[in-house]
A and B are shown apart, each in its own frame.
Chain A
Amino acid sequence: MTIDGGQRAAALAAEPLRPAGAQPGFFRGTVQSLRDIAAHRELLGLLVRRELKARYKDSVLGFFWTLARPLAMLLVYYVAIGKFLGAERVPGRETGIPDFAIFVFTGLTAWQLFSEIISTGTSSIVGNAGLIKKVYLPREVFPLSAVGAALVNFTVQLGILVAATAVLGRFPTGSRWLLLPLALAVLVVYSTALAVLLSAINVYLRDVQYLVEILIMILFWASPIVYSWGLVESHLSPMLAQLYLANPMTQVVLAFQRVFWVSGTDEPTPPDLAGTLGVTLVISIVLLWLAQRVFARLQSNFAQEL
């Protein structure tokens, strides 16, 4: 900080004038937004850390609580649906889902990431109102930091899943893993697109965050997480089955099960899952771009609507 006035003025004179705030242009705006976000990646990292640190700051068990929720859900579904409703395959019975615990936990791991990104992402702009009204930042960092925090939790949960498969002696090997990056990419891009879009809309219409809670609950049952694809297939007409499969989360959950649910290798699966996922990924990327453009348009009034 030893630059004197003259040097500073000279340095400034060499710089071009740049517009204050975000620019509303459609294509040029995209590049500008990306550059802006890239310039703030350090802040993004700090915000993710803040989310994680602040969440369980004063609790004794701290980070453990992140895992408590999925483990509790696993227990509930395993006992209630697997045992009482008889969804689990037991020796001496032909129907049912083999290794029901692994099956449910696989679906839950993918679902947990989706629901966390959507729900924390949706409220991220409103939750950071104090900052948005006082400092200019590319506002996309707030939903993105929600995505980052959710990814950290997801990684831990995925670790537990992998460990569990190893303990049960059903460790996925070989080409099974190839589907994981694709499914994960679809999951992250798709849910980020929704989070970015919903976070902006939520500023103008606070009802959105309550609506999202309900939709997440409904969508949970619209994906083959606690029941298998085989059961759905037998109940739906081919057209309805196609519709059911069009849900990106259904594809992602099925792909996760292909990877981690080794005992389910012989269970029915929809054909060409990888191809479908590829198409969905392209659509998700377009969706993410559109969501960002809508966000950029809406964000100009954030400071006064909050």
Chain B
Amino acid sequence: MTTVVEVRDVSKRFVIRKEKSLKERLVNFGRSQRHREDFWALRDVDLRISSGSTVGLIGPNGSGKSTLLKVIGGIIQPTAGDVRLRGRLAALLELGAGFHPDLTGRENVFLNASILGLSQQETARYFDAIVDFSGIEPFIDTQVKFYSSGMYVRLAFAVAVHVDPDILLVDEVLAVGDEPFQRKCMDRIRGFQQEGRTIVLVTHSLDQVAELCDRAIMLDHGHVQADGPPREALHALRTEFEQTWMDDQARERASAALTHSASLPSAVVERVQVFSGGKQVEAVPTGADLTFRVHVRVEDAMPGFFVGFGIETVTGQNIYGTNSRLLGTELPAGSGRLAFDFHAPAAWIGEGSYTAHGSISGPDGRELHRLVSGAGFAVTAQGRETGFVHLDTTVAPADRSLG
């Protein structure tokens, strides 16, 4: 495969200055070091993207995803390292970035297409298709400032997808318009993939990454944390998110302890195990019996606590969850290491890879701890269905007697 984007040891430093005007600069001259702060948005990022691949850049807010996209697009120059490209590049960092509110839709289509690198002739050729795609034909000769935000975005996206790039950079712009329009956009993106275009996508929608991308890169504080099939990177990201969430919880608890003076009981989920037929397993056929054993450690005995477990897909979509309170079972109060079994006699789960989490909550319903991806397991079936449940469906000509 040909490399179309080559990012070599790229670092990007932003200097955060706290003054701007000439006066402030003169007054603070010489002491200016104190008024600046370095911030590394990217640190030694090194990657190659081959032609025809769809790469998702994921990570928490402020992790450097958009900066990396801008560096690839040449909008920002890296502090160190360099970026090299092959082929025509179009960046969709903001829809309608080049729209001028006082010009009509038609004039803006030509201007925007030209900004994205289309010649006038090409634009003229695609013009009808662009207007058709946007679905705002009656308003094409109206000034853009009178457009609703939906119309604006539709027209902008229509222009963008008619540009003929080899590399398309997309930043959080796919979630626009109403549902039919969104579906149209996704179809278009899939079309792009089939035509062998390279797409680099920044998004917070993990489902979108799992659905569209064949590679995901997770960034955190400017470092590449995971790079590989979407499944792995998504897993890394979700673990990171849970960690952040747990840290927040811990901080909240600490501050609550300060204000209430009475410290809250602490408890942690130590691990989760999956059993089937009395043995610990990693893969089971659909319909097998499953037992989820949740191990917890409780510091002080607290009556009324409850434990739970849940099953998620690798992209983090929750498909099942329950806890002892929902099940109506009172657990005996105790302290130290405890274990609880959740038993499902016949788990008709659809084929695929899943993870199970365990959680423990205090009597007030507040979750004390959650162990994400406590255990992983796979469910095997005959490949007769998609989705998360096994229904053992058959098909036959309609039986009219049913009405």
Contacts and interface: CB of A to CB of B under 8 A. Distances in A.
Interface of A: 1, 3-9, 11-13, 15-22, 24, 42-43, 46-47, 50, 53-54, 57-58, 130-137, 205-207, 300-301, 303-304
Contacts of B6: 17
Contacts of A137: 115
A304 B195 contact: no
Given A12-B166, A18-B86, A53-B107, 15 more contacts: A5-B52, A9-B2, A12-B87, A15-B86, A20-B73, A46-B114, A47-B111, A50-B107, A50-B111, A132-B75, A133-B75, A136-B75, A205-B22, A301-B77, A303-B76
B300 interface: no
- The 7 A-B pairs of least Cβ separation, nearest first, read A5-B196, A21-B74, A300-B77, A134-B97, A20-B74, A8-B196, A136-B74
A13 B400 CA distance: 59
B14 interface: yes
Contacts of B52: 5, 8-9
A42 B20 contact: no
B120 interface: yes
B100 interface: yes
B1 A9 contact: yes
B100 A50 contact: yes
Contacts of B82: 19-20
Interface in B141-200: 143, 164, 166, 194-197
Contacts of B93: 133-135
Contacts of A3: 195-196
Interface in B83-120: 83-87, 89, 91, 93-94, 97-98, 100, 102-103, 107, 110-111, 114-116, 119-120
Contacts of A42: 114, 119-120
A306 B213 CA distance: 33
A131 B75 CA distance: 10
Interface string B348-384: 0000000000000000000000000000000000000
B14 A304 contact: yes
Nearest to A9: B51
B261 interface: no
B217 interface: no
Interface in B1-42: 1-4, 6, 14, 20-22
A20 B85 contact: yes
B314 interface: no
Q: Which of B4, B6, B115 has the most CB of A within 10 A?
A: B115
Nearest to B98: A131
B103 to A, nearest CB: 6
B70 interface: yes
B107 A135 contact: no
A22 B14 contact: no
A301 to B, nearest CB: 7
Interface residues of B, number: 49
B195 A1 contact: yes
Contacts of A57: 102-103, 143
Interface of B: 1-4, 6, 14, 20-22, 51-52, 70-77, 82-87, 89, 91, 93-94, 97-98, 100, 102-103, 107, 110-111, 114-116, 119-120, 143, 164, 166, 194-197
Nearest to A1: B164
Nearest to A204: B20
A15 B87 contact: yes
Contact of A207 (B14, B22, B51, B102): B22
A6 B51 CA distance: 10
Given A19-B83, A130-B97, A137-B115, A4 B76 contact: no
B2 A12 contact: yes
20 contacts: A8-B196, A9-B51, A12-B166, A13-B2, A17-B6, A17-B85, A20-B82, A20-B85, A21-B74, A42-B119, A43-B114, A50-B100, A54-B102, A54-B103, A133-B93, A135-B93, A136-B73, A300-B76, A300-B77, A303-B70
A206 B86 contact: no
B100 A135 contact: no
Contact of A58 (B20, B73, B102, B114): B102
A29 B4 CA distance: 23
B75 A134 contact: yes
Nearest to A16: B86
B110 A46 contact: yes
A198 B83 CA distance: 29
Contacts of B116: 135
Contact of A53 (B1, B77, B85, B102): B102
Given A133-B75, A137-B115, A301-B77, A206 B21 contact: yes
Of B83, B100, B110, most A-chain CB atoms within 10 Å: B100
A19 B84 contact: yes
